[in-house]
A and B are shown apart, each in its own frame.
Chain A
Amino acid sequence: MTALALRHDGPGTVPVPGPRRRLIGLVVALVVLLLLLVLSVMIGSTAIAPSVVWDALFHPSADIDQFAIRDYRLPRTVAGLVVGAALGVSGALIQALTRNPLADPGILGLHAGASFAVTVAVGLLGVRDIGGYMWFAFAGALIVTLMVLALGATRQGQSPVVMVLAGVCIGAVLRGAGSALELTNPAAFDVMRAWNAGSIVARPLDLVWPIVPFLVVGLVLAVVVSGSLNAMALGDDLAAAQGVRLTRTRVLAIIALTLLAGGATAIAGPIGFVGLMVPHVARWIVGPNQRWIFAYSVLLAPILLLASDILGRVVMHPSEIPVGIVTAFVGAPVLIVLVRRKKASRL
């Protein structure tokens, strides 16, 4: 709701670093991400020697510790990377599309749709495994976005404002219906409280791979529309004068957004905040150019997600905290410190 309330104030007044420094920043982010990928395989709730980790990956045998690396740490690292990248870019897309720097992919009702679909699957259809939830979540996200697209069609084409409103309203209705279902069905409530937390654990690679093609298509579409989105940041009329086809761009962006955020939600459940914060911070760093924002988001979001996941494995030892819960605790303080340090607090 709050995100809706903000106005977009056009391109930034903050000095933007030159291409050279932006590139250096990108390389630094890449190095940090690679480091975290390695750490994510090394660190876990049991102590496993680095040599065993190495052997598990490159000289596999039936050793019980090797299974722990290959079956648990490796898949969750892959899931973290994939989900993070998808969330980051989908957040950047929704922020560009709505020209609202605090929009979150969930604003189009996507999380609510996915969550409601899973509630129905659990509560009414008796589905009980992650592989099943996954496709229901994906379908729920897709259907809600289609509804939002349909409702957002005005005489002048797709209006982001109307789409966001439609998303918020559909989201509210679905959330209410979902709670009604859960509160009258304890078994569904029990499953949903775990799913709603958002986690990248116990998603074996053979469950993640089928979603990846959707994410790749989404990523490609995002890159394709980035130029048009840049033009549209200056205003619809100006963009149209430059030959940008507004409706086509918006529909493509929405499709990309749905594939990315829907796919990420299907794998991990509704992970909030990453999609809001990462592109927002990326914009502070690199300015309003969408291509740079995408590039930074695709690296920074998995960094946030993997760092949170690793932290979640160690802080409550021997237990773990689902990554969806940790992200806000890692990200929000960063966001607050950043906003306090910013001189010009507008964009």
Chain B
Amino acid sequence: MLVLRHGRIAVRLEWRSVVVCAVLALAAAGVAVLALMTGSYQLGPGQVVSALTGGETGLVHDIVVEWRLPRVAAALVFGAALGVSGAVFQSILRNPLADPGIIGFSQGSYTGALIVILVVNGTYWQLVGGALVGGMATALAVYLLAHRRGVQGFRLIIVGIGVSAMLDSLNTWLILKAELEQAMAAAAWGAGSLNGVSWDRVVIGGACIAVFLLMAAMLSRPMRQMELGDDAAASQGVRVSPVRLGLIAVGVALTATVTAASGPIAFISLLAPQIARRLARTAGITLAPAALVGALLCLAADYIAQHIAPTPLPVGIITVMLGGGYLGRLLFTEARRRL
């Protein structure tokens, strides 16, 4: 339908990526400072700095170091993970609108989480486990159901749509049958929320993400080669099948970690690689700018989510709206140009 790809642009634009990355990092740092400085509890810049350097105790310390800081860290790390995950999927499926949702992962992890929240009444770590198991089991089921002498793209998508539709229905049913308050908590999780993020969650989630990011970085070279076509890559000595499987696994694992930790934060995995590619003006998908754009997007969206309404909203609501708007403008101009 739409292929959002310019012709191959020469490698001499390389330096641009570096500058873009630096600017993005600076912007993210700026928003991070803003997020640390502001909140419904009034604190002066001096107090915040002193809390960060260990000069405060009691509530002021807790608010800055235990509440605001992990939230900022989570937004950055999770956003980066989503950006890379989207970049990987868009690259291997050679489709600008692909994301891990295509194989029913999001719906499956929501189902797992709903069962833990509504049926088992479980703890946070059970919720994490439920979301992971649900998502992985769904992805596996879709893969196996689509497997018939090899997996073919079209069949994968149809089976994904079918399985997702069933899980969507199941999720609606679970929400419908729950007590109002629990149903709302589940819905807030389902929208993707960083409310109440604590250090232990950030550290454990972040450690997993760091490992997966490393793996993604190691696979990025063959990934770029495969963007030119499987045959071309194979002729350059890339072992296409294992690399593709590895990339899918890393992409899913990154999204899975974020989804498990904070619910499915929508649109970042779709948007970040697109924005990154436009900023860096590279021909294909590059990981580092995508990660930085993802981090910046997630952090900014969370800042808006906390301040736009009288009470904090789930960050995912903002990413959906921002994402919808931005994607609209982006694809729109592109489509108009082609017509």
- A337 to B160 CA separation, bound complex (whole angstroms): 13
The answer to the question of A318 belonging to the interface, with a C-beta cut-off of 8 Å to chain B, is no
- A331 to B169 CA separation, bound complex (whole angstroms): 12
Which residues of chain A are within 8 angstroms of B283 by Cβ–Cβ distance?
none
> A329 contacts B166, CB within 8 Å?
yes
Which residues of chain B are within 8 angstroms of A4 by Cβ–Cβ distance?
1, 97
Number of A-B contacts (CB under 8 A): 171
Contact of B180 among A8, A155, A190, A272 (CB under 8 A): A190
Q: Which residue of A lies closest to B328 (CB)?
A: A169
Q: Which residue of A lies closest to B147 (CB)?
A: A340
The answer to the question of A165 belonging to the interface, with a C-beta cut-off of 8 Å to chain B, is yes
Which residues of chain B are within 8 angstroms of A184 by Cβ–Cβ distance?
309-311, 313
Q: Is the interface of A mostly helix, strand, loop or mixed?
A: helix
> A328 contacts B169, CB within 8 Å?
yes
> B172 contacts A196, CB within 8 Å?
yes
User: Beyond A154-B339, A184-B313, is A345–B187 a contact (Cβ under 8 Å)?
Assistant: no
- A100 to B101 CA separation, bound complex (whole angstroms): 19
> A189 contacts B324, CB within 8 Å?
no
Q: Which residue of A lies closest to B3 (CB)?
A: A7
> A7 contacts B1, CB within 8 Å?
yes
> B102 contacts A340, CB within 8 Å?
no
The answer to the question of A168 belonging to the interface, with a C-beta cut-off of 8 Å to chain B, is yes
Which residues of chain A are within 8 angstroms of B2 by Cβ–Cβ distance?
161, 165
The answer to the question of A346 belonging to the interface, with a C-beta cut-off of 8 Å to chain B, is yes
The answer to the question of A2 belonging to the interface, with a C-beta cut-off of 8 Å to chain B, is yes
Which residues of chain B are within 8 angstroms of A194 by Cβ–Cβ distance?
176
> A273 contacts B328, CB within 8 Å?
no
Which residues of chain A are within 8 angstroms of B212 by Cβ–Cβ distance?
none
Number of interface residues of B (CB under 8 A): 61
The answer to the question of A251 belonging to the interface, with a C-beta cut-off of 8 Å to chain B, is no
Beta-carbon contacts of A139-173 to B below 8 Å, as 1s and 0s?
00000000000010011100101100110111111
- A90 to B325 CA separation, bound complex (whole angstroms): 26
Which residues of chain A are within 8 angstroms of B165 by Cβ–Cβ distance?
272-273, 328, 331-332
Beta-carbon contacts of A315-339 to B below 8 Å, as 1s and 0s?
0000001101111110111011001
> B324 contacts A155, CB within 8 Å?
no
Which residues of chain B are within 8 angstroms of A272 by Cβ–Cβ distance?
165, 168
Contact of A5 among B95, B175, B314 (CB under 8 A): B95
Which residues of chain B are within 8 angstroms of A125 by Cβ–Cβ distance?
none
> B180 contacts A189, CB within 8 Å?
yes
Which residues of chain A are within 8 angstroms of B97 by Cβ–Cβ distance?
1, 4-5
> B173 contacts A321, CB within 8 Å?
yes
Contact of A183 among B164, B313, B324 (CB under 8 A): B313
> A173 contacts B325, CB within 8 Å?
yes
CB-contacts of B291-332 with A (<8 A): 309-311, 313-314, 317-318, 320-321, 323-325, 327-328, 331-332
User: Beyond A176-B321, A345-B155, is A186–B339 a contact (Cβ under 8 Å)?
Assistant: no
A156 to chain B, nearest CB (A): 6
Which residues of chain B are within 8 angstroms of A170 by Cβ–Cβ distance?
324, 328
Shortest 5 CB-CB distances between A and B: which pairs?
A172-B324, A169-B328, A176-B321, A332-B162, A176-B320
Return 14 A-B CB contacts under 8 Å, by A number: A5-B93, A151-B332, A179-B191, A186-B180, A186-B184, A272-B168, A321-B173, A328-B168, A332-B163, A335-B161, A336-B145, A339-B159, A339-B162, A345-B154
